[in-house]
Amino acid sequence: MPFKRAKKKPEPLTEAALYEYAVNALGRRMRTVAELSRLMRNRVEPGETGKAKIDAVLARLKEYGYLNDTDYAANYARLRQENASFGKRRVRQDLVVKGVRAEVIAATLNAAYEGVNEEELARKHLERKGVKKPANEKEAARVMRMLVRAGFSTGVIYTILKKWDVPEEELAGLEQMEDGSADG
């Protein structure tokens, strides 16, 4: 049985080295202020000294325009809407997880989804996933779960299912299943 090596915590970085680390991290992919702060926290000494280094690096990155949560949120929302056909709720949830402030999220999503028809976006999502008209209640429930995960409202989901001529009894059954899962 091989021995596992204990992972050594890296030596705390100087402010210049921390800046280089942050620029390299941003070079790999866009990040929010919160995400980058989390990454850098592991590279500095704990306490006020480390926090001061992180704050200085963040301020410098913002000054140079490398780090901007508003731009990040706008790009993220646009890409998730165009490429993944995600609804407003899903994008909001993802941005919250990434540490973007609530007021930035609200302003960004209002602008990004202003002229968007949610039903068309949901249909585009289903088409992209190759989903066909459900043949029974089980398939209808699967479509519903998929659209809920993608961030669409239940009103839009029911509209789509009704236009697919899913019988009213099955829709009522889905509603009961949804109510039961929300309680549990």
- When the pLDDT of each residue in the chain is averaged and rounded to a whole number, the result is 89
Instruction: Please state, in angstroms and rounded to a whole number, the distance separating the CA atoms of residues 32 and 94.
Output: 12
Contacts of 148 (CB under 8 A, 6+ apart): 154, 157
Domain ranges of the chain: 15-63, 69-112, 118-183
Q: Is 92 exposed, middle or buried (0-12, 13-18, 19+ CB in 10 A)?
A: buried
Residue 31: which pLDDT band, with cuts at 50, 70 and 90?
Answer: very high
Residue 176: which pLDDT band, with cuts at 50, 70 and 90?
Answer: low
**Residues 9-28: b if buried by 16+ CB within 10 A, e if exposed:** eeeebeeeebbebbeeebee
State the pLDDT at residue 178: 59
Question: pTM for the whole thing?
Answer: 0.81
State the pLDDT at residue 4: 75
Instruction: Please state, in angstroms and rounded to a whole number, the distance separating the CA atoms of residues 135 and 128.
Output: 19
State the pLDDT at residue 172: 72
Task: Please give the residue that has the higher pLDDT: either 175 or 162.
Answer: 162
- Angle in degrees, CA 141, 147, 148, rounded to 5: 85
Is it the case that residue 184 has pLDDT exceeding 50?
Answer: no
Residue ranges of alpha helices (H) inside the chain are 15-28, 33-41, 48-63, 69-83, 88-97, 102-112, 118-129, 137-149, 154-163, 168-183
| Tens-place pLDDT, residues 38-60 | 999 999 999 999 999 999 999 99
| Tens-place pLDDT, residues 98-155 | 999 999 999 999 999 999 999 999 999 999 999 998 888 888 889 999 999 999 998 9
